[in-house]
Amino acid sequence: MNEQIQPSALSVTRPANKVRRRIFVQKHEAVIYGTVSIICFLALWELAWQLRLISPLFFSGPSAIVVQFWELLVHGNLLRDAAYSGKNFLIGFVLALVTGVPLGILLGWYKRLNLLFDPLINALYAMPRIALYPLIIIWFGIASGSKIFIVFLSAMLPILVNTVAGVRNIDPDLLKAARAFCAQDRQIFATVALPYSVPFILTGVRQGVAHGLIGVIIGELFAGSEGIGYMISYAGQMFQTDTLLVGVVVVMIAGMMLTALGERVRRHFQRWRPDHVGGR
């Protein structure tokens, strides 16, 4: 992320470069501001850590986390745990996506179907899903199965609900045009409903990623002997705050990377949109 910042480009003062510099700053505004805030935060945190204002028994510092991260990566089980959690998350999430989107389009399209399922979905959405975990473990065991199902359940609902909202919002003029050209429902799904819902679906995907990651970690906290969640829970019992925080940071970075990927996908699908014009 920060490789796009070139200090040399920022300190050049020749007039010809002034314009270029302004364009550079404008283009990478989001990255520059974001990076500055994160660096400031990390610096303050590290300072507090170095001044021993933080007890290693309760928390840790950035440098200690980085060292521990390297240690776990080279000599520990970090890779294995990350792969285990990642695999469960991925399978569950893909299942959520391939069921949530088509189901959402159908429910958004067919009013009666939606009336039929709406109460059920609302109930599932409102239900504290955490409370179901012991039950899911009874159903699927403590191995991968239960974690995959938890991710699926957590990610599917936001994707479904947002897809329904997207289809509900379709510009009626576009539907009219499609119908006037004798489009069949199947064609309308593919050429109007799906593209129109993409921004909504991606909002759902974003929420789904967050819920799914929480799901996979909590699933491992509950039961099992592998994965980042297990690593976190074990480190907690051993008062290894740095290892625990390595786990948290790994999940956080995974979440941020997935969100950035989602943003890429969104841009790809929205390249037709006129550039956003607005204030600072």
Partner 1 sequence: MTAAMAAPAASAHASAAAKLVIEHMSYRYFLEREESEFLAFSDVSLSVNDGEFVAIVGPSGCGKTTLLNVIAGLLPYDEGTMTIGGLPVQGPGINRSMVFQNASLLPWRTVFDNVRYGMEMQRRFEPALMTSRAEEMIRLVGLAGFEKRYPSELSGGMQQRANLARALATDPEVLLMDEPFAALDAQTREFMQAELLKIWSKSKKTVVFITHQIDEAVFLADRVVVMGTRPGRIKKEFPIAFERPRSLSLKRDPKFLATCDDVWRLIEQEAERINVLRAAE
Give the interface with partner 1 as residue ranges (CB under 8 A): 171, 173-174, 176-183, 187, 191-192, 195, 269-274
Give me the least distance between CB of 268 and partner 1, in Å please. Answer: 11
User: Quick check: 169 and 112 in contact, CB under 8 A?
Assistant: no
Q: Which is nearer to partner 1, 96 or 193 (CB)?
A: 193
Give me the least distance between CB of 188 and partner 1, in Å please. Answer: 9
Distances (CA, A) of 48 to 37, 160, 239: 17, 44, 20
Q: For residue 218, what are the contacts with CB-CB under 8 A and spacing of at least 6?
A: 130, 133, 150, 229
Q: Which is nearer to partner 1, 22 or 264 (CB)?
A: 264
Give me the least distance between CB of 172 and partner 1, in Å please. Answer: 9
User: Quick check: 105 and 162 in contact, CB under 8 A?
Assistant: no
Q: Which is nearer to partner 1, 80 or 179 (CB)?
A: 179
Q: Which is nearer to partner 1, 118 or 185 (CB)?
A: 185
DSSP one-letter string for 100-113: HHHHHHHHHH-HHH
CA distance 167 to 198: 10
Q: Which is nearer to partner 1, 60 or 197 (CB)?
A: 197
CA distance 259 to 269: 15
Give me the least distance between CB of 173 and partner 1, in Å please. Answer: 4
